[in-house]
Chains A and B, each alone.
Chain A
Amino acid sequence: MNKLFYAGIAFALLAGCSSTPLNDANAPSDAKAGSASDRTSDLGLDKLRSDSLLTQRSVYFDFDKFEVKPEYLDVVNAHAQYAADHPGVKMTLKGHADYRGSHEYNLSLGQKRSVSVKNVMNTSGANDAQIETVSYGEEEANQNCQGKECDQDRRVDISYEVE
Chain B
Amino acid sequence: MKSLTKTLFLFLFLLQTVHAIEVIDILGGKANELAVAVIPFADDDTDNEKNQIHNVIKSDLSRSGFFRIIKTEGVKSLPTHTNQVDYTFWSGLKAELLVIGRVEKNDQQIKVTYDLVDVFKEKLIISTEYSGSLKQARQIGHQISNVIYEKITGTPGVFHTKIGYVQKVNNNKFHLNVSDMDGFNPKSVVISNQPIISTRWSPDGEKIAYVSFEQKKPVIFVQNLKTGDRKLVANFKGNNSSPAWSPDSKKLAIVLTYNAFSQIYIMDVDGNNVQRLMRSRSIDTEPVWAPDGKSIFFVSDRGGGPQIYTIDLATEQVRRVTFEGKYNVSPRLSPDGKLLTFITNDNGSYKVAVQNLISNQVMRLTKGRNDEAPVFSPNGHMVLYTAKESDKVTALKTVSLNGFKQQLIDTGPLSNQEATWSPIDF
Contact = CB atoms under 8 A, between A and B. Distances in A.
A21 interface: no
A61 interface: no
Interface in B316-344: 327, 329-330, 343
A105 B259 contact: no
A103 B198 contact: yes
A46 B418 CA distance: 44
B373 A133 contact: no
A146 B369 CA distance: 12
Given A134-B217, A146-B390, A104 B261 contact: no
A115 B372 CA distance: 26
Interface SS majority for chain A: mixed
B241 A64 contact: no
B183 to A, nearest CB: 21
A136 interface: yes
Interface stretch (A5-13, A32-40, A75-83, A106-114): A106-114
B234 to A, nearest CB: 14
B289 interface: no
Contacts of B255: 104, 108
A118 B345 contact: no
Interface in B256-280: 257, 259-262
Nearest to A63: B348
A29 to B, nearest CB: 41
Contacts of A100: 350, 370
Interface in A118-142: 118, 128, 131-137, 139
Contacts of A105: 283, 285-286, 299, 306, 329-330
Contacts of A19: none
B239 interface: yes
A102 interface: yes
Interface residues of B, number: 39
Contact of B286 (A102, A115, A128, A143): A102
B293 interface: no
B197 A103 contact: yes
B242 interface: yes
B164 interface: no
B305 A134 contact: no
A16 interface: no
Contacts of A134: 217, 238-239
B370 A132 contact: no
A136 to B, nearest CB: 7
Contacts, number: 97
Contacts of A102: 286, 299, 329-330, 343, 372-373
B48 to A, nearest CB: 37
Interface in A49-105: 64, 99-105
Nearest to A119: B260
A105 B242 CA distance: 9
A101 to B, nearest CB: 6
A144 interface: yes
Contacts of B197: 103-104, 107, 137, 139
A112 B343 contact: no
Contact of B259 (A99, A107, A115, A137): A115
B391 interface: yes
A133 B343 contact: no
A107 B343 contact: no
Interface in B164-207: 195, 197-198
Given A104-B241, A111-B239, A132 B285 contact: no
20 contacts: A64-B306, A101-B350, A101-B372, A102-B343, A102-B372, A103-B198, A107-B242, A108-B262, A108-B283, A108-B285, A111-B238, A112-B283, A128-B259, A131-B259, A135-B257, A137-B218, A139-B213, A143-B394, A143-B415, A144-B391
Given A112-B283, A135-B239, 14 more contacts: A101-B327, A101-B343, A102-B372, A103-B197, A104-B198, A104-B241, A105-B306, A107-B241, A108-B283, A111-B283, A112-B261, A136-B217, A137-B197, A139-B213
Which 6 pairs, one residue from A and one from B, show the smallest C-beta to C-beta distance? A108-B262, A139-B195, A108-B283, A103-B197, A102-B329, A108-B285
